[in-house]
Structure 1
Amino acid sequence: MCGIIGFAGNVPATPILLDGLERMEYRGYDSAGIAVRSEHAGLQVKKSKGRLQMLADLVDGGKALDGTLGIGHTRWATHGEPNDVNAHPHVSSSGNIAVVHNGIIENYLDIKESLEQKGVHFSSETDSEVVAHLLEFYYKEHGNMLEAVSHVLGRIEGSYAFGIICSDYPDALIAARKDSPLLLGYSEQGNYIASDVTAIIKHTRQVAYMDDGEVAVITPTGIDVYNSEMVAVEKTVRTVDWDVSAAEKGGHPHFMFKEILEQPEALHKTISPRIRDGRVVMDDLQLDPDYVKNISRIFIIACGSSYHVGMVAKYTFERLLRRPTEVVLASEFRYSDPLVDETTLAIVISQSGETLDTMAAMREAQRRGAKALAVVNVIGSSIARDADHVIYTWAGPEIAVATTKAYSTQLMLMNLLGLYMGDMLGTIDPQEYTDIVAAVEKIPAQMESCLADKAEIQYYASRYFNHNSIFFIGRNLDYALGMEGSLKLKEISYIHSEAYASGELKHGTISLIEPGTLVVALGTYEPLFDKAMSNMVEVKSRGAEVLALTTELCRDKMEKNADATICIPVTHPVLQPSLGIIPLQLFSYYVALQRGCDIDKPRNLAKSVTVE
């Protein structure tokens, strides 16, 4: 969600801050601001509600603010409405300290009341402003900014990533983190902080990831990091190995469209290192066979699209592993008193590796004795570091808020994990194992053929984009696939859309079907195709218009009853969702395009959710 960037160096800071904020626009925001310290003007703060361009115009593209030390922020409103006052940075009463903050200060009301009793006046409705005033209180008391930061961190409760500058410290910014991502960047022209590597990749590939409780002092010549006891620690500096162009549109109209097209390549990167001589190998995963054999239950914990990956994986895991598998929303797991012990495997799925609900749920599972296996995309992310085991999707950067290639690579990695563990357990029929592995290797090429049918899907989008309510129906894997297809549509087109298990229609939902209602009927899961057909006929007989998705094998049967039919290639049944998602993503994209929506930055949504 919110984005942070900071710079201390020997070149003008404002252009770097604006560029970094622009590269984090995809995370979602409703206001933006920067604070820069210069020798002649002291601490200067500019902020604005709305798109980043409004802030850029306010500072004349950076020309209106000089100085080589600064912090910037894009805000997604949690406390207080989106406006100029609630935007970050927040400034202390004297105007000497500026703060940007990601996260939630849970006890901010108590602190605010205490400061107000001391005569402090608050301007905003945010929880973050208390940090600026509290810093000033302790700075006046101790005369040392680092000591003031230490006192503030000891008093606040919640999650945070801070960037802090003080007019009395012309060459240093201070950073701190707990349960909210923050990384450090190193370069010859200066050093950086950022909540997302995309913000600084143009300037440096040398980064280190801050751990919970750490505080960093960033200057033009170096970075010093301290733990929660204020003892100096050494950080491991990593090299970011993806190309800068991966975070740019490359001539495509939207990041989402570009990332849909990148899925065959992304899947190839996920698959190819993990299949060798017809066997699934996971050199990056060291699971003890005895532990795997003693697993009595599997929890798959995730949010949003990652949760829908888990829904597909549940069917696959129970088929291949013969172990009960439960998919739980991360935001519900930790509050449900889950039945977890040392024979439980908790698989947590998160594209960013920073999703706070998922991180908290993982820690709860570990606290109760489970081993945690993380499926993430971002190397060095918080979930990756804290999990007992981690496997990476290697999808590359994903910029559009609505996930496409992250979903597809997560889904494939879960299929590979199911094969790997099922082989270890001996619960997969050898012939089926061979068949699925062979089918996996063909998926990227089959996905390419799905993408070749864009014109047909664009036509259907132009035909159906004016519907106000759409239903997705399917059985088994098609039901799980429909959940993601429905989410994609509502995320970027703002059309009310729901997915239902087809067999549940007659238990109430069918009352919503009336003449002209659009129903997307999924019939790609061949074992239940006939039942899916009967459910499609049910809605059609009540006046629904049916857009069907099926395989080439079942095309003729489907076309006899559907108003329109989209076909995908045939693969092994457990892999069919990997192909079925492509036309659903494209349909959502083209519908949103027809409706004139902001596809890469849908309203109210954020790429990485780092608050509960």
Structure 2
Amino acid sequence: MCGIVGILGLGDVAPRLVDALKRLEYRGYDSAGVATLENGKLARRRAEGKLRNLEAALEKTPIGGTSGIGHTRWATHGGPSVMNAHPHLTGHVAVVHNGIIENYLALRDEIKAAGADILTETDTEVVAHLVNEQLASGLAPQEAVAAILPRLNGAFALAFLFDGAEDLMIGARKGSPLAIGHGDGELYFGSDAIALSPFTDRITYLEEGDWAVATRAGVTIYNESNEEVCRPESKSSVTSSLMDKGNYRHFMAKEMHEQPEVIGHTLSRYINPSARKAAIEGIDLVDFAGIQRIILSACGTGYLAALIGKYWFEKYARLPVEIDFASELRYREAPVSDKDFALFISQSGETADTLAALRYCKQEGARVGSIVNVPESTIARESDVFFQTMAGPEICVASTKAFTCQLAVLAALAVQAGRLRGVLNEEQEGALIDTLASVPGYAVQALKCESAIEPLAHKLSRATSALYLGRNTNFPLALEGALKLKELSYIHAEGYAAGELKHGPIALIDETMPVVVLAPYDGIFEKTVSNMQEVAARGGKIILITDQKGADASVDTEKDLIVLPDVPDFIAPIIYAIPVQLLAYHTAVFMGTDVDQPRNLAKSVTVE
């Protein structure tokens, strides 16, 4: 959430700042602004709403300057408004901030008592006042920032610009990511490599507690103890071309249709189809034969991927799995030991709750691993072993291709764990690897059901609530389907284990209630169909997602059908995720909601 960009450039930076901010829209925001040094003096433009409003403000009243900072804000302290939008400008300093200053009330009271005029409802404004106080006392900008950083509790990424300092920008991070980009005679700050991709592929990531003093000639980095440190420069694989929707109406549509390719890329890192074996780099760092349990933890859709992973690890590796939301695990003081392997899932690798839970488990002695889409991220760097998904940048806030790539990694890990623990023999491993290798082909076939889904989405758009039902690994998919519908269309939806229907949710069934049933023709198909018949008997409107055998076996029940290919049970949750995504997408498109940036949501949740 929120996005930061800063440029020490060679030409006018305001248009470049806005272009960079557009690449951070996927993180979620409700206001935006830029500040530059125009003739050595701080100038600022801000706007509520989308970046087009900021562009209009700049077109009406342009600002020049070769140094500047920009920000997309997702409201936390204080509602979305021009007044609360960043950058905040006080006296001789402008600042942009991602995160939350937890002790801002005490700091605000202090600076108000000293005579400061507080203009906004934000926690960030106090940072600007604190730095300005230090400048007024005679300290240089670098000394002023060094003086106030220890006073800030909470999570923050900060970028500062100063009156009269055309060749200076200062950044700091604690709990929120901040990257430095190196150009030819230029220097950049950004929340991630995506924002900086049009400018450079040479990136340095600040580590926890670091702060950096940048000029066009280079950057000096200090750690939390104010000691000068060296941080490695890496070459980013992110390119600005990946930010294009191509021929698709939305990024979500593009990302759903990329799934066969990116799942294939991901699996190629973890399985050897010709040898019919799992081949996972770094697996020797996890003693699967010796550990007593796996702890799986994540947030949002990543948590639902973990739920499916639990079924796989317990079935194919006979490993007990405990699973929890990261936001709960981090606070409930769960017993963790060196006999545990704690595995965390995050698309961005920066999710605040997930990172805190990882650090807790590591502190308690567990070996920690992560499944992450961004190898340079904090979670990846702090893991003992990390498994990269090859989804590429996911711009739509609602996760699609990252989710199915996470499932691909979990499936491969479960197979290798089963082999290492002696649960699977060589032939059984080979059969499962053959099945995993077939996923991209099945995904291509699943995408062909889109034409059948569109008219069903039109019907679903008239509902005010919906239920999703599934058994076994289709139960977490029912939760995922309900989550996607809520995120994108704002229709209330709930997912349930189909066997729980009679234990409460059946009271909701009437002729206005759509019920989406996920039921491939497997060993428990008849059980799920019996639940579906209970829905039909009460007038519920059924959408059945199944295969041809399932469609033929349920001819006596009135329903709408989405028919998928006959998929092996092992990989069914990966393939059945696709129609669930398409159904939510087309419902939202028909209703006219903002598919790529749903209201109130942020892509990367870097605060609690």
- TM-score normalised by structure 2 residue count: 0.98
Equivalence map 1:118-197=2 (5 Å): 118-197=114-193
Equivalence map 1:273-284=2 (5 Å): 273-276=269-272, 277-284=274-281
Task: Give, in angstroms, the shift of residue 508 of structure 1.
Answer: 1.2
Partner of 1:581: 577
Partner of 1:58: 57
Partner of 1:20: 20
Task: Give, in angstroms, the shift of residue 541 of structure 1.
Answer: 0.7
Matching of residue 270 in structure 1 with residue 269 in structure 2: no
Q: Deviations over 1:474-507 (max 9, x none)?
A: 1111111111111111101111010011111111
Equivalence map 1:504-515=2 (5 Å): 504-515=500-511
Contact 1:11 1:189 in 2 (8 A): no
Partner of 2:31: 31
Aligned counterparts of 1:181 and 1:559: Cα–Cα separation in 2: 54
Task: Give, in angstroms, the shift of residue 288 of structure 1.
Answer: 4.3
Specify the SS of the correspondent of 2:47.
strand
Of 510-519 and 427-436, the range deviating more from structure 2: 427-436
Matching of residue 386 in structure 1 with residue 382 in structure 2: yes
Specify the SS of the correspondent of 2:436.
helix
Matching of residue 339 in structure 1 with residue 335 in structure 2: yes
Aligned counterparts of 1:214 and 1:242: Cα–Cα separation in 2: 24
Partner of 2:318: 322
Equivalence map 1:409-488=2 (5 Å): 409-488=405-484
Partner of 2:7: 7
Aligned counterparts of 2:209 and 2:424: Cα–Cα separation in 1: 45
Partner of 1:397: 393
Contact 2:449 2:564 in 1 (8 A): no
Aligned counterparts of 2:453 and 2:533: Cα–Cα separation in 1: 22
Relative to structure 1, the CA distance from residue 444 to residue 222 in structure 2 (aligned partners, 3 Å threshold; closer, same or farther) is: same
Contact 1:521 1:548 in 2 (8 A): yes
- Aligned AA (1:364): Y
Task: Give, in angstroms, the shift of residue 548 of structure 1.
Answer: 0.3
Contact 1:569 1:579 in 2 (8 A): no
Report % sequence identity: 40
What residue ranges of structure 1 are gaps of 5+ in the alignment? none
Task: Give, in angstroms, the shift of residue 431 of structure 1.
Answer: 3.7
Aligned counterparts of 2:239 and 2:591: Cα–Cα separation in 1: 33
Aligned counterparts of 1:432 and 1:534: Cα–Cα separation in 2: 32
- Pairing partner for 2:360 from 340, 357, 364: 364
Task: Give, in angstroms, the shift of residue 326 of structure 1.
Answer: 1.6
Aligned counterparts of 1:327 and 1:248: Cα–Cα separation in 2: 36
Aligned counterparts of 2:206 and 2:85: Cα–Cα separation in 1: 25
Aligned counterparts of 1:432 and 1:116: Cα–Cα separation in 2: 69
Query: Which stretches of structure 1, 4 residues or longer, exceed 4 Å deviation after superposition?
Result: none
Aligned counterparts of 1:90 and 1:6: Cα–Cα separation in 2: 14
Q: Deviations over 1:117-144 (max 9, x none)?
A: 1111110111111100011112223421
Aligned counterparts of 1:298 and 1:201: Cα–Cα separation in 2: 37
Contact 1:173 1:218 in 2 (8 A): yes
Contact 2:265 2:390 in 1 (8 A): yes
Specify the SS of the correspondent of 1:403.
coil
Specify the SS of the correspondent of 1:152.
helix
Task: Give, in angstroms, the shift of residue 78 of structure 1.
Answer: 0.5
Aligned counterparts of 2:360 and 2:159: Cα–Cα separation in 1: 29
Specify the SS of the correspondent of 1:66.
coil
Aligned counterparts of 1:133 and 1:362: Cα–Cα separation in 2: 34
Contact 1:552 1:570 in 2 (8 A): yes
Contact 2:285 2:385 in 1 (8 A): no
Contact 1:4 1:195 in 2 (8 A): yes
Task: Give, in angstroms, the shift of residue 242 of structure 1.
Answer: 3.8
Contact 2:4 2:97 in 1 (8 A): yes
Aligned counterparts of 2:455 and 2:381: Cα–Cα separation in 1: 45
- Between Structure 1 and Structure 2, how many residues are aligned? 607
Contact 2:213 2:220 in 1 (8 A): yes
Specify the SS of the correspondent of 1:216.
strand
- Aligned AA (2:71): H
Partner of 1:569: 565
Matching of residue 591 in structure 1 with residue 587 in structure 2: yes
Aligned counterparts of 1:434 and 1:565: Cα–Cα separation in 2: 34
- Aligned AA (1:56): E
Specify the SS of the correspondent of 2:22.
helix
Q: Deviations over 1:492-542 (max 9, x none)?
A: 111101001111111111111112310001112612111000010111111
Specify the SS of the correspondent of 2:261.
helix
Of 142-151 and 475-484, the range deviating more from structure 2: 142-151
Q: Deviations over 1:537-562 (max 9, x none)?
A: 11111110100011233220134324
- Aligned AA (1:363): R
Relative to structure 1, the CA distance from residue 400 to residue 541 in structure 2 (aligned partners, 3 Å threshold; closer, same or farther) is: same
Specify the SS of the correspondent of 1:532.
helix
Specify the SS of the correspondent of 1:527.
coil
Specify the SS of the correspondent of 1:456.
helix
Aligned counterparts of 1:146 and 1:519: Cα–Cα separation in 2: 60
What residue ranges of structure 2 are gaps of 5+ in the alignment? none
Contact 1:570 1:576 in 2 (8 A): no
Relative to structure 1, the CA distance from residue 180 to residue 84 in structure 2 (aligned partners, 3 Å threshold; closer, same or farther) is: same
- Aligned AA (2:70): G
Contact 2:271 2:280 in 1 (8 A): no
- Aligned AA (2:365): G
Of 191-200 and 553-562, the range deviating more from structure 2: 553-562
Partner of 1:497: 493
Task: Give, in angstroms, the shift of residue 367 of structure 1.
Answer: 1.2
Q: Deviations over 1:234-261 (max 9, x none)?
A: 2211112244322210121000000000
Partner of 1:200: 196
Relative to structure 1, the CA distance from residue 221 to residue 110 in structure 2 (aligned partners, 3 Å threshold; closer, same or farther) is: same
- Aligned AA (1:79): H
Specify the SS of the correspondent of 2:523.
helix
Task: Give, in angstroms, the shift of residue 324 of structure 1.
Answer: 1.1
Matching of residue 43 in structure 1 with residue 50 in structure 2: no
- Aligned AA (1:287): D
Contact 1:86 1:126 in 2 (8 A): yes
Give the RMSD, CA atoms, in angstroms: 1.4
Equivalence map 1:486-565=2 (5 Å): 486-524=482-520, 526-565=522-561
Aligned counterparts of 1:507 and 1:34: Cα–Cα separation in 2: 54
Aligned counterparts of 1:74 and 1:489: Cα–Cα separation in 2: 26
Partner of 2:73: 75
Partner of 2:284: 287
Aligned counterparts of 2:269 and 2:403: Cα–Cα separation in 1: 19
Partner of 1:352: 348
Aligned counterparts of 1:141 and 1:558: Cα–Cα separation in 2: 79
Relative to structure 1, the CA distance from residue 155 to residue 515 in structure 2 (aligned partners, 3 Å threshold; closer, same or farther) is: same
Task: Give, in angstroms, the shift of residue 196 of structure 1.
Answer: 2.1
Partner of 1:85: 83
Q: Deviations over 1:207-246 (max 9, x none)?
A: 1111011111122222221112222222211112244322
- Aligned AA (1:77): A
- Pairing partner for 1:236 from 232, 237, 241: 232
Specify the SS of the correspondent of 2:502.
helix
Q: Deviations over 1:343-382 (max 9, x none)?
A: 1111000000000010001111111111111100001100
Of 425-434 and 133-142, the range deviating more from structure 2: 425-434
Aligned counterparts of 1:571 and 1:560: Cα–Cα separation in 2: 23
Task: Give, in angstroms, the shift of residue 189 of structure 1.
Answer: 4.7
Contact 2:277 2:430 in 1 (8 A): no
- Aligned AA (1:477): T
Partner of 1:600: 596
- Aligned AA (2:89): V
Contact 2:37 2:164 in 1 (8 A): no
Aligned counterparts of 2:339 and 2:394: Cα–Cα separation in 1: 35
Contact 1:278 1:438 in 2 (8 A): no
Task: Give, in angstroms, the shift of residue 392 of structure 1.
Answer: 0.2
Contact 2:168 2:215 in 1 (8 A): yes
Specify the SS of the correspondent of 2:393.
coil
